[in-house]
Amino acid sequence: MPSRIQAIIALSAITQLPENADEDCPICAEEYEDAVQLPSNDDDRGPTGDERIQLVARAFQHSGLSGDQYDEYSDDLAFEVTTIQRAAGVAYTYLAADAHPPPTRDVLIHMGLLGPHIIAMANLLKGYARAAGWPYSGFQNRDWKLIVQRLIELLFHADGQTRSGEDVVRMAREYRGRIRESLSQDLIDIHSGRFFEANARMDSPCGDLDVLLEYVVARCANDFQDRRQQWEDLAQDQQEALQQESGAVGYGMRWLGQAFFGGV
């Protein structure tokens, strides 16, 4: 029988890390020896480059996002079709790209901004599965709807919260576990749809859940950055207004001094 490492190497393309890599192993806290890097989650979801863009384009056609045939997943979220379509463009760009967000970010959970992105990516991923040749079964459609509903409920409870220096992958795994626990407590069979498989193959919907959660965290990071930029712009505007007001007051005092006292 092959070892676990041999099995991983046989199934996955790996990348040799440079000898001068200065990071320590997060498990044993020792320096790496003959370190390798496993492929990212996005790589596991299919091809890269132009082939990936073409696949996501077909996924978009299957998603219903170009019209109004998409699933909304929750009665608590109601958005205009144009809002969903704008969010769909962002989701399309994210899924088609090979780039990954920085691993550590400050995040803001703002459901008013996040909601349409969840709906868009959830529909796009289901379309992606169909375009890639592994369309969801009836059980998987049911489970996906429940998963997205539970994700929305959990995020509603955290609406308005900020988290500093958050690890994107760790936060995604946190919500994955909380969704699984929530479904299990309601005695829902979490194994039928294969969304929570361990060591899943590329064509497993487990990868769709990972992509959705990582995308949600990345959007939360963007929302934090946008909010911080708004704060900085507001502070700058206030500073400029104070400077202008101070200048106007100074000019007025000089004019009075010259008019009544011959200058000050």
Using DSSP, state whether 16 is helix, strand or coil: strand
Locus of tokens 């803001």: 108
Question: Across the chain, where does the E strand assignment appear?
Answer: 15-16, 36-37, 104-108, 162-167
Q: Do residues 21 and 121 share a domain? A: no
Distances in whole angstroms, Cα of residue 182 to Cα of each of 13, 158, 168, 237, 243:
34, 15, 21, 46, 54
Residue 259 covered by a domain = no
Residues 78 and 21 in one domain: no
Q: Measure the CA–CA gap between 22 and 20, rounded to whole angstroms.
A: 6
Q: Establish how many alpha carbons lie within 13 A of residue 89's alpha carbon, considering only the half-sphere containing its beta carbon.
A: 5
On average, the pLDDT of the chain sits at 77
For the record, the structure tokens of 49 come out as 């480059």
Taking each continuous run of H as one helix and of E as one strand, the counts in the chain are 8, 4
Q: 13: pLDDT confidence band, cut at 50, 70 and 90?
A: very low
**Do 35 and 153 sit in the same domain of this protein?**
no
CB-based contacts of 69, cutoff 8 Å, min separation 6:
none
Q: Would residue 21 count as lying in a domain?
A: yes
Shared-domain flag, residues 59 and 25: no
- The residue segments making up the domain with residue 26 are 1-39
State mean pLDDT over 54-72. Answer: 92
* Residue 150 falls inside a structural domain: yes
- Lowest-pLDDT choice from 78-87, 117-126, 208-217, 234-243: 234-243
Q: How confident is the model at residue 77 (pLDDT cuts 50, 70, 90)?
A: confident
- Of the pLDDT bands very low, low, confident and very high (cuts 50, 70, 90), residue 5 is very low
Report, in angstroms and rounded to the nearest whole number, the Rg of the chain calculated over CA atoms: 25
89 and 124 share one domain:
yes
Q: What average pLDDT does the segment 127-134 reach?
A: 91
Q: Are residues 108 and 223 in the same domain?
A: yes
pLDDT band (50, 70, 90) for residue 10: very low
236-260 confidence digits (pLDDT tens): 666 666 666 666 666 666 666 666 6
Do 80 and 186 belong together in one domain?
yes
55 in a structural domain? yes
Give how many domains the chain has, as a whole number.
Answer: 2
Q: Are residues 45 and 80 in the same domain?
A: yes
